[in-house]
Amino acid sequence: NVLRKQRHWEKIITAKKKKRKQEKEKRKAKHAEDKGIAHQHSKRVLKTIAKERLLAAKEAAPWLCIDLSMTSHMTHKEISRLAAQIRRLYGSNKKAGKPFWICLTGFVAGSPISEECLRMNDGFSNYLMDTTPESYLDLFPLETIVYLTPDSENALQDIEPHRVYVLGGLVDESIQKKLTLQKAQEQSLQTARLPIAEYMVKNANVKNYHSETLAINQVFDALSTYYETQSWPEALKAGVPPGKGYVLQKTAL
């Protein structure tokens, strides 16, 4: 019994020593990793890299304009939601390996949307993007503009660097159908929609709910992912949430 207890205790001691050694090696490895990460990717360095990427996008990447001229159609609650979506969209773009250049058009100082953007979004005035009260029609040649609307008959095929893609800044809880399409047609603009119908199918759900209308940050997540991967299945998986009632076709997986 004494020998058995002694051997048992020796096993425990050996196991403890082994565990301490492993934990020490883990701590050393983590410390070295953290040190390396801190050295290579300090917050200051990351900010500089992101800033350089964004500023380079202004010259060479596609532009994404958010058309804020329709906020008169919206309630205060809808405007607040739009301001939150702009924050998410900007955050996604800042992290992207291949960012767009963002421009808020119809952004009038002192308007409800400008006030909400400043109130809800920390550091909004320092965002690396353009804001202007002017219309995209006054800023860009008509032939470069593509107005993205879920009601368009044309599926977006590709994203071209020297195009200007316009998203209607519209949070519409009352669902005013085809508002952005009508506006684009009146302005003789080319229109396009995300190719949801081409790559996705309706998924059965309890509420029998299916919608191709996405928030502007969700549309942007799809555009951004496609721009980086050149894959519409990957893009739609990133941008279309399951709650919209669509899933990728098996052939697209």
Query: Does residue 177 lie within any of the structural domains?
Result: yes
44 part of a folded domain: no
Q: Is residue 189 part of a domain?
A: yes
Domain contains 23: no
Nearest CA to 84 among 188, 217, 200? 217
Indicate which CATH number applies to the domain containing 70: 3.40.1280.30
Give the model's pLDDT for residue 197: 93
What pLDDT was estimated at residue 44? 75
Which of 55, 201, 22, 213 is closest to 129 using CA atoms?
Answer: 55
What confidence tens digit (pLDDT) does each residue in 162-205 have?
Answer: 899 999 998 865 556 788 899 999 999 999 999 999 999 998 88
Query: Residue 18: inside a domain, yes or no?
Result: no
Domain that holds residue 170: 62-252
For residue 129, being part of any structural domain is answered with yes
**pTM for this predicted structure:** 0.79
Structural domain tally of the chain? 1
Identify whether 143 is part of a domain: yes
Q: Is residue 4 part of a domain?
A: no
- Asked whether the predicted pLDDT for residue 34 surpasses 70, the reply is no
